[in-house]
């Protein structure tokens, strides 16, 4: 090879905005707390260790606006710390409960040490400010931070150019406020691309995105380098296609590393194994059991949950080392195979994943990433870089129109649009057109009207999240998703009446502002057709 190949590991961190100050304890807020202690804090700890040990290599991470808003919210910070306190207290009791039990003593001691350290790290090292930790590694160059399109909407489904632009700009502005920097890349929610989407990103100075390989392979012109090099869209956006071979080694539970028999079993949780009175401190006060993050069993094999063997953290660490070695060796072999077809340019492999795969779904995943970085540090066959780094190293690329695609099942849109959730979009598109109409006609008339319009914009952005149709499709917490959609759409209708009628329900408006409080500096002009 004329130059080292490039490998970009791109993590996309996102959760729907879930914040319920009206409830002392809300089940869906647990999504955030679990992701914090299983994924986001461990990722920061990993970056700290790599920095301390002088291990080079760069990681790309997108942080969505809803997730950033929750990370920066003081109420959720306090609740998360209280959550960690409950887990530490429970683990102390569980160490005593399992004393002398060779099956579970190792796991119990492991969790006590883990949660005690996570609590110390969050409270003392980070001062409760997770965003500051990511900002530090971004400024040091170890981390390439990307933003995400607003509240994670499917851009091709939206009704107006104004609405699309508002989503892009609102997410971008929040990112800039937190990191005082212009991101070079932006994550498209669900990697959902259609011709024309690139304009809204390029107009805001975004340089690159990631797509499913279908978007590359079915482009208007056949890609000369396949997914080993980016394609440039009509509006100048560099589009990097997912490498299926490298990605599936990591994310596939059936064919990839996470299915190893020694790794932690995701679907069996301590909160369901013990009597109710013994887990009362870590479940809902009403006695509703839910996952605690304390899982004492391993994958074992294709057996029933009650036949799973005890989890051995030490043995799992050994498997992490073996799998990281295999992953790095596989990339070296892959680059050797494709290098001749690349001419004088180095190949680039793009490995995009949901960040929550690492730590949450695959518990050992963060340790695996760290081992990959350490092993890659020892080779000169490839660089662990970022898409932006590759664009700096190689400046001539093929130009064509990319194919419509997502990274959902089949590479298309069926996950977010089928007979079960199609009803959503008529309401969303009507609400979007109403917001454009009202912001165009009423913005700037008086402070009170602008205040209502700002909240109307927040409710619309929240309603447009791709999470709600996804949840309805997968059948997980369908009732909650439908309740959220109904609440946001109802709020949009009532706020629109206030704007048009000139009478403001201060109590109702204040309630919405207190609960749905992201995008404090939302710019209503972004929705106006006057500023196109």
Q: Which of 161, 260, 354, 381 is catalytic?
A: 354
Encoded tokens for 2: 């004329």
SS3 label, residue 400? coil
* CA–CA dist 425, 422 (Å, integer): 6
* CA–CA dist 516, 101 (Å, integer): 47
Q: Which of 190, 265, 371, 516 is catalytic?
A: 190
* CA–CA dist 98, 75 (Å, integer): 34
* CA–CA dist 392, 429 (Å, integer): 39
Q: Does 89 participate in catalysis according to the annotation?
A: no
Angle at 145 (CA atoms; ends 143, 148), nearest 5 degrees: 155
Let me know: does 467 contact 481? Beta carbons within 8 Å.
yes
* CA–CA dist 15, 7 (Å, integer): 26
SS3 label, residue 232? strand
Three-state DSSP string of 83-117 = HHHHHHHHHHHHHHHCCCCCCCHHHHHHHHHHHHH
* CA–CA dist 385, 143 (Å, integer): 10
Strands (E), 458-497: none
Helices (H), 399-446: 423-442
Encoded tokens for 197: 């989407």
Let me know: does 384 contact 57? Beta carbons within 8 Å.
yes
- For residue 438, CA distances in Å to 449, 458, 473 come to 10, 14, 32
**How is 212-229 classified by DSSP, letter by letter?**
-HHHHHTSSS--TTTTSS
Q: Does 354 participate in catalysis according to the annotation?
A: yes
CA end-to-end span of the chain, whole Å? 47
Burial 123-134 (b: 16+ CB within 10 A, else e): eeebeeebbebb
Active-site residue set: 190, 354
């Amino acid at each position: 090879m004329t130059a080292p190949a490039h490998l970009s590991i791109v993590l996309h961190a996102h959760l729907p905005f879930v914040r319920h100050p009206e409830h002392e304890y809300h089940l869906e807020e647990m999504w955030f707390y679990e992701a914090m202690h299983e994924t986001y804090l461990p990722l920061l700890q990993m970056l700290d260790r790599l920095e301390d040990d002088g291990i080079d290599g760069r990681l790309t991470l997108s942080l969505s606006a809803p997730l950033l808003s929750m990370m920066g919210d003081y109420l959720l910070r306090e609740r998360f710390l209280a959550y960690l306190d409950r887990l530490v207290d429970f683990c102390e009791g569980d160490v005593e409960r399992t004393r002398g039990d060779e099956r579970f003593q190792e796991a119990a001691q492991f969790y006590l040490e883990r949660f005690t350290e996570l609590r110390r790290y969050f409270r003392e090292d980070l001062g409760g400010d997770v965003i500051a930790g990511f900002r530090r590694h971004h400024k040091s160059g170890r981390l390439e931070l990307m933003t995400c399109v607003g509240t994670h909407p499917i851009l091709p489904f939206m009704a107006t150019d104004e609405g699309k632009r508002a989503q892009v700009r609102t997410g971008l502005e929040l990112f800039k406020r937190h990191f005082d920097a212009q991101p070079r890349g932006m994550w498209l929610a669900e990697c959902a691309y259609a011709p024309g989407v690139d304009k809204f990103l390029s107009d805001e100075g975004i340089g690159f995105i990631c797509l499913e390989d279908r978007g590359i392979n079915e482009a208007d012109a056949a890609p000369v380098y396949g997914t080993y090099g980016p394609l440039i869209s009509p509006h100048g956006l560099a589009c990097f296609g997912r490498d299926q071979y490298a990605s599936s080694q990591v994310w596939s539970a059936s064919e990839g590393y996470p299915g190893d028999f020694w790794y932690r079993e995701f679907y069996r949780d301590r909160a369901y194994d013990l009597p109710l009175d013994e887990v009362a401190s870590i479940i809902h006060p009403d006695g509703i059991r839910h996952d605690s993050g304390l899982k004492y069993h391993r994958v074992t094999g294709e057996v029933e949950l009650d036949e799973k063997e005890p989890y051995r953290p030490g043995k799992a660490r050994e498997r992490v080392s073996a799998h990281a070695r295999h992953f790095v060796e596989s990339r070296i072999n892959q680059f050797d195979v494709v290098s001749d077809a690349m001419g004088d340019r180095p190949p680039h492999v793009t490995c995009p994943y949901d960040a929550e795969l690492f730590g949450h779904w695959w518990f050992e995943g963060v340790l695996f990433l760290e081992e990959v970085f350490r092993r890659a540090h020892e080779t000169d066959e490839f660089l662990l870089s970022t898409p932006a780094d590759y664009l700096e190293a190689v400046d001539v690329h093929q130009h064509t129109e990319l194919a419509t695609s997502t990274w959902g099942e089949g590479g298309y849109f069926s996950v977010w649009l089928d007979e079960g959730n199609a009803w959503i979009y008529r309401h969303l598109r009507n609400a979007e057109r109403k917001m454009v109409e009202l912001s165009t006609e009423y913005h700037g008339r008086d402070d009170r009207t602008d205040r209502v319009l700002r909240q109307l914009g927040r409710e619309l952005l929240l309603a447009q999240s791709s999470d709600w149709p996804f949840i309805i499709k997968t059948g997980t917490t369908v009732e909650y998703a439908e309740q959220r959609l109904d609440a946001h759409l109802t709020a949009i209708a009532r706020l629109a009446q206030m704007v048009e009628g000139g009478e403001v329900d201060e109590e109702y408006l204040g309630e919405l502002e207190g609960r749905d409080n992201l995008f404090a500096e939302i710019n209503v002009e972004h929705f106006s057709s006057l500023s196109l």
